[in-house]
Amino acid sequence: MSKLTVTIKHELMEMLPPTIFFFVILHIVAIIRELMTKGAGVSLQTSLSVTVAALILGKSVLLANLLPFINRFPEKPLIWNAGWRTLIYALVALFVHYLEHLYDYWKETSGLISANHMLLANLNWAHFWAIQILLVTLIANYCVLAELARVMGPNRLKVLFFGPMPTKPAAQAAG
């Protein structure tokens, strides 16, 4: 295999776990949002945009992991880095969530400023914050699992979750 092929394969394998995670959670969020507003379920167009967003977020996580400040507390207990990453990713999610709603209002108005005023006046803030709380909770789960994978190694974590489990020595099993 050429060096380019190996690099592309490595990047795709690195991108796979966050992409799958965001694919699932963004569909959960989309279903909950639709149930809260219309109660009809998720359309094919919504599912397609969620899939594209998951691909973008999967690559974004890889790029964010290259930033020097993302692994700010490597020597402290895992909760420090998990909390730090959750804060960063949650702020980005809040910004994107707000922009998503702003775009919807922008389509109805003549400009960005009027769209923002309309959004601030008409948005169902209870639904907005409910979705944001759900996103933060799911992002925190991702960050905890990512920190466990960083410390334990992704292969060990995969074995713990999907098996096969190592056999216990007879002395340990009896005790």
- What distance separates the 2 farthest-apart alpha carbons in the chain? 75
pLDDT at residue number 40: 59
Domains held by the chain: number: 2
User: Which residue segment(s) compose the domain that 32 sits in?
Assistant: 1-66
pTM for this prediction: 0.71
- Is residue 80 within 8 Å of residue 73, measured between CB atoms? yes
Q: What is the pLDDT of residues 8-19, one digit of tens each?
A: 888 888 888 888
Residue 6 lies in a domain: yes
Are 98 and 72 part of one and the same domain? yes
Co-location of 73 and 129 in the same domain: yes
In a domain, 172, yes or no: no
Which string of DSSP letters, residue by residue, matches 94-126? HHHHHHHHHHHHHTTSSSHHHHHHHHHHH--HH
Closest CA to 100 of 119, 126, 81, 86: 119
**Mean pLDDT (whole number) for 56-69:** 76
Same domain, 152 and 91: yes
Q: Is the pLDDT of residue 46 over 80?
A: no
Specify if 169 maps to a domain: no
Query: What are 147's two structure tokens?
Result: 């920190």
Residue 51 has what pLDDT? 82
Q: What is the per-residue pLDDT for 153? A: 85
Kindly state whether residues 28 and 94 are assigned to the same domain.
no
Do 53 and 118 meet the contact criterion of CB atoms below 8 Å apart? no
Question: Measuring CA to CA, which residue among 120, 67, 121 is closest to residue 92?
Answer: 67
CA distances from 24 to 1, 21, 80, 116, 152 (A): 32, 5, 25, 30, 24
**pLDDT tens string 112-171:** 899 999 999 998 888 888 888 888 888 899 889 888 888 888 788 888 888 886 676 655
73 and 33: one domain? no
Question: Considering 35, 50, 66, which residue would you say is the last residue of a domain?
Answer: 66
Claim to verify: residue 47 and residue 84 sit in the same structural domain: no
- In-domain check, residue 139: yes
